[in-house]
Amino acid sequence: MLFGDKKLYARARQAKLGKSDLSGPLEDLRLWVNSQYSINVIYVVYDFIDIGPHKDRPRLNLIIETTQDYEQVHKDIFTLKPNIKGSILNKFSRIVAESDSPSNYNTENVHLISDNFSQEAMGRAAEQFLLKESRGVIKSYPEANIWDISGLSTQIVVFYQKEKEITQCQKNGRSAAIYQRCYEAVKGYDEFDYICPENFTLKFDSKENVDKNYNGSMFYYWR
């Protein structure tokens, strides 16, 4: 999976930048999927599951560029449409059988998965914002009484100290100003220009809520 895998993201990023190329059956499959379903798969990984009850099962991972393309071939966030999954696996078997080195790939019982490259890229932009810019935002709005700014993947949450401050800052315009400041800061780390107002996720919460409903633990909050 792409999420949290720095090495795999780096390989996919290089492919997105046009600085690395696939070859052989994996490239043939990538081109076929893109043509067949009018989407953009930027990278394909063939490896084996290394842990668990399915250890050593061959695995094929299609790294799809955008959320729109990802949703086009999925019936839900995790599951490829069965007819598309079957078609891709059948095509992979045929491509490998017709290749110069069919013994390099096991096409029996392949586990097909996919990743959303743009989602991970946006998550990394949000992560850079949290590391480098969030404290500056807090300091810039002392009157807003911000406790913390935290996040997970593409989600960012600005925590006020008290619940009542969520309503107060919405009414006096401080939340709108903070939202725009955060958006512009995150956008500065958006290498591939994926982030827009429609997919930027920021909400407001409070330390009071964390203390009351999550035992004061951010671990429980994000779990």
Which residue has tokens 């913390």?
A: 148
Domain extent listing, the chain: 6-120, 133-222
pTM over the 0.75 mark: yes
Positions in the chain short of pLDDT 50: none
pLDDT at site 5: 80
Structure tokens of 151? 């996040």
pLDDT at site 174: 97
Interaxial angle between packed helices 163-171 and 174-187, expressed in degrees from 0 to 180 and rounded to the nearest 10: 90
- 118-145 pLDDT, tens digit each: 999 999 999 999 999 999 999 999 999 9
For residues 39, 42, 46 and 49, what is the CA-based torsion angle, rounded to 10 degrees?
Answer: -80
Q: Which residues contact 55 (CB under 8 A, 6 or more apart)?
A: 48, 49
Amino acid at 138: I
CA distance 107 to 59: 9
CA distance 124 to 154: 8
